[in-house]
Structure 1
Amino acid sequence: MDFPYFYFRNRNLALATEEKIPILIILGPTASGKTSLSLELARLWQTEIIACDSMQVYRHMDIGTGKPSLKERKEIPHHVMDILEPWESFDVAQYIRHADEAAEKIWQKGRIPILTGGTPLYLKRFIEGIGKSPPSNPEIRHKWEEMARQHGVLFLSHKLSQIDPVATLKIHPHDKRRLVRALEVYELTGRPISHFWQEEGKEREKYDFYIVGLSWPREILYERINQRVHKMMEEGWWEEALKLPAMNPSKQASQALGYKEILEGIQKKYSLEKIIYEIQKRTRHYAKRQILWFQQFPKVHWLEVLKEGFHENLNWKKIAKSLSNNIREIWMK
């Protein structure tokens, strides 16, 4: 065991008395190498991984959500993965509860948890907490979703600007989900959602975070995304997606990137080439949104991956070893 050994030796801490759980977070856009790096670090530290992906929680959705292989998951235990059937719903509060339980179990074994994923909202709320905004109201939410359907998403952005200009500046005018939530909160409480944001933004006290972000030149990342989609198709993504409708998937699962494009493309009689093109395009757009989110996260140690080698044949084991040494130097201060 590499880094954790030094963690306990240098700090002379006992598991029973440690106040905070040290946790490494690896974030980055899709196709940035989060899985490869987290697996190598988990091998190096002899620890376990907590997934932070809103779609990897679902069983039967393996290839398209980019889960590690069954062999890799057998070698390195993964938590908050394959915990639901596609017809079940899931939200950020449930995610935090599952991730907290996993982190505590891993820490109790004397190991430092590694949390990795690319769902920005889940990562942000795990780091900062949920705050005290009210729970969702399905009736009010449906009303605003129907407004968006009838009048367009920009209509919601305009409505929000009249009651919460602060939130309007921070929520993209086409981000329907967050706009609906902001309007829902105002209708439920009479207070703008930005009021509740003021109570957030601080790291949760139970953890000692070290956050690593994977950074790529945009054009190379996009090429990796394009190649990744082709590889997933070769591995059986198409067949996996065709099985999903029979499982009566929840609204969340049915919106999974790629699965939705495959099923809609079949209905519209698109060619395979056009469906692949649509998946690549929308995945690139999603990666762009992820990057914008992550750039707003504080205290991220950005790792420029190409400085570690050529992207066609990256040595993730070498990168993990170098990163582990850097973390040890900073975390031990």
Structure 2
Amino acid sequence: MTQRPIDAIAIVGPTASGKTAAALALADSLQGQGGAEIISVDSALVYRGMDIGTAKPSRQELDAVPHHLIDTLEPLHSYSAADFAREATPLIADIRARGKTPLLVGGTMLYLKALLEGLNDIPSANPEVRAAIAQRAEQLGWPALHAELAQVDPATAARLAPADSQRIGRALEVWTSTGRSLSSFHQSAKPDAPNWHIPVISLEPTDRAWLHARIALRFDHMMEAGFLDEVKGLRARGDLHPDLPSMRCVGYRQAWQGLDEGWPEAKIREHGIIATRQLAKRQITWLRSMPERVVVDARAGDAVHQVKQMAMQALTA
């Protein structure tokens, strides 16, 4: 039986695993088959003015292949998994209607999960509950609230850093408001679950030290490219603050804190690299919960070739 045509191909993996290079190479290979367009699956790339610290694709890369959901929002605003699923769905249809292959590329796994599995009935924000949690965090500290979260929602706590105030607060807010864990909402069946056919190709290194070295090298390149000046420029705007989702992105949060407290650049670098490693660990945890993915060892010399080969096989199946 002929398999139904694919809707898109997802190329995912932890930060610094080579997703962008693989996606651009695949898009180039697809030129003879109508071409491809990239839909960013990244919670930081949506923000304008945040280029260096997000490792945003270069102008040359953006010009080589059409990209979507990059530079669409001011950092003053928030962007959610629901926003992503709502915007990515018609983009996939539009790209396919023009005879091209949509490539979903990034590492914000909650966004991909929302797209692939549909949206659940997680309650909207409750300002009163949120304010009460924030007040408790001021008294006890976020690590203490992370420990509380681990008691009521260990699955969510396991993928969050103890200082991830935004996500810890949201998970506790859901628990307080509903008596249900956030992870139970994520796992529950969704009546509007879409019938997607989207193969997931995941670049995952078999050696954590290899990934750590890549993360450190990339952070050094960002520092050399003027990352701290970028953060200083964002601070100088006057309308941003460190509790915004955009400014809590990995790297930006540590740089903002370091500039506030007068850290030397070496300390900002150290904290930024540690936070990025923690992000990568959480991303890998997410990926391992997706048994349908096909894994490519990111360390392999022919990793890009493997990604292209798997994608081509999916497209011609």
TM-score, length of structure 2 as denominator length: 0.86
Match of 1:316 in 2: none
**Aligned with 1:171: secondary structure?**
helix
- Given the superposition, is the C-alpha separation of residues 328 and 202 from structure 1 closer, same or farther in structure 2, using an over 3 Å criterion? farther
Would you say the 8 A contact 1:44–1:321 is kept in 2?
A: no
Runs of 5+ in structure 2 lacking a partner?
Answer: none
Cα offset, 1:68, TM superposition: 0.6
What is the CA–CA distance in structure 2 between the aligned matches of 1:28 and 1:191, rounded to whole Å? 29
Please list the CA deviations of residues 169-203 of structure 1 after superposition, one character each: whole Å capped at 9, or x if unmatched: 55328365444334323443454545534424899
Q: SS in structure 2 opposite 1:279? A: helix
Partner of 2:114: 125
Q: Is the 8 A contact 1:225 1:284 kept in 2?
A: yes
Q: Identify which of 139, 143, 154 aligns with 1:168.
A: 154
- Residues 213 and 300, structure 1, Cα contact 8 Å, conserved in 2: yes
Q: For residue 39 of structure 1, what is the aligned residue in structure 2?
A: 24
Structure 1 residue aligned with 2:173: 184
What is the CA RMSD across the aligned residues, in angstroms?
A: 2.7
Identity level (%): 34
Question: SS at the partner of 2:8?
Answer: strand
What is the identity, as a one-letter code, of the residue corresponding to 1:38?
A: A
Cα deviation code 1:258-297 (max 9, x no counterpart): 2222232223222222221221122112212211221112
Structure-2 separation of matches of 1:184 and 1:28: 29
Asked if 1:289 is matched to 2:285, the reply is no
Distance (Å, rounded) in 1 between the aligned partners of 2:247 and 2:150: 30
2:156/2:183 contact within 8 Å kept = no
Matches within 5 A, 1:152-167: 152-153=141-142, 155-156=144-145, 164=152, 167=153
- Residue 157 of structure 1 deviates from its aligned partner by 5.4
Q: How many angstroms apart in 2 are the aligned matches of 1:156 and 1:276?
A: 27
Contact persistence 2:23–2:105 (CA under 8 A) = yes
Pick aligned residue for 2:38 from 41, 49, 62: 49
CA distance in structure 2 between the partners assigned to 1:285 and 1:185 by the alignment: 24
**1:253 positional shift:** 1.3
Query: Does 2:73 correspond to 1:84?
Result: yes
Amino acid aligned to 1:100: T
Show CA shifts across 1:50-77 (max 9, x none): 0111111011101110111011111211
Matched, 1:241 2:237: no
Alignment deviations for residues 86-137 of structure 1 (CA, whole Å, 9 cap, x no partner): 1122222111112112212111111111011111222222222221122122
Q: Once the two structures are superposed, what CA deviation does each residue of 1:207-241 show, in whole Å capped at 9, x if it has no partner?
A: 21110111111111101111111111222212111
| Cα 1:68/1:192, change in 2 over 3 Å | closer
Question: What does 1:1-333 correspond to in 2, within 5 Å?
Answer: 22-45=7-30, 46-153=35-142, 155-156=144-145, 164=152, 167-172=153-158, 174=162, 176-193=165-182, 195-200=184-189, 204-216=193-205, 217-247=207-237, 248-249=239-240, 251-309=244-302, 319-330=303-314, 332-333=316-317
- Secondary structure of the residue aligned to 1:244 is helix
CA distance in 2, matches of 1:29, 1:161: 23
Whether the aligned pair in 2 keeps the contact of 1:23 and 1:112 (CA below 8 Å) is yes
Deviates more, 1:169-178 or 1:75-84: 169-178
Task: Kindly tell me the number of residue pairs found equivalent between the two proteins.
Answer: 306
Superposed CA deviations along residues 140-175 of structure 1, whole A, max 9, x for unmatched, are 12222322332244654565577x5xx335532836
Query: Structure 1, unaligned stretches of length 5 or more?
Result: 1-9, 310-318
TM-score by length of 1: 0.82
